[in-house]
Amino acid sequence: LPVPLPLGRIEFIPIEWYDRIHSYSNATMASVRAATLPTIPALRAIANEVVLDVLMYLTPLTCETTIRCVLTQMNHLYEKFCVLNEQKVPCSILGHSLGSVIAWDILCGLEMGDVADANEVKEDEE
């Protein structure tokens, strides 16, 4: 393991979900590309890539797959971070665009016991 960073330093650990989710929906994306008109290619690409992601996220299967993908990575990376720093530390979750919706859905899905566990970590430090 690498040497831990100095105390008090902020570290951003990205969660990559976009490519992993798109590998699950290759058939869907192939169908969309086949049905896409060749006119205004840049605008069509934005519509296919961005708007379709939002619409797909609203489907139960894609939503569940995305949340599981993100949660699995978050838990794995947090465990590695805690091992590296030899302690459990509080963390913040940031998201941009659809990532912020995913983060909101994850936080809204937490059970009260999960929140209590997070508060215990905070109280142990004080």
Active site amino acids? 97
- Evaluate whether 85 touches 7 at the Cβ level (below 8 Å): no
Largest Cα span, the chain: 61
Q: Which of 52, 48, 89, 93 shows the shortest CA–CA distance to 70?
A: 93
**DSSP 8-state symbol, 108:** H
Q: CB atoms < 10 A from the CB of 17, how many?
A: 20
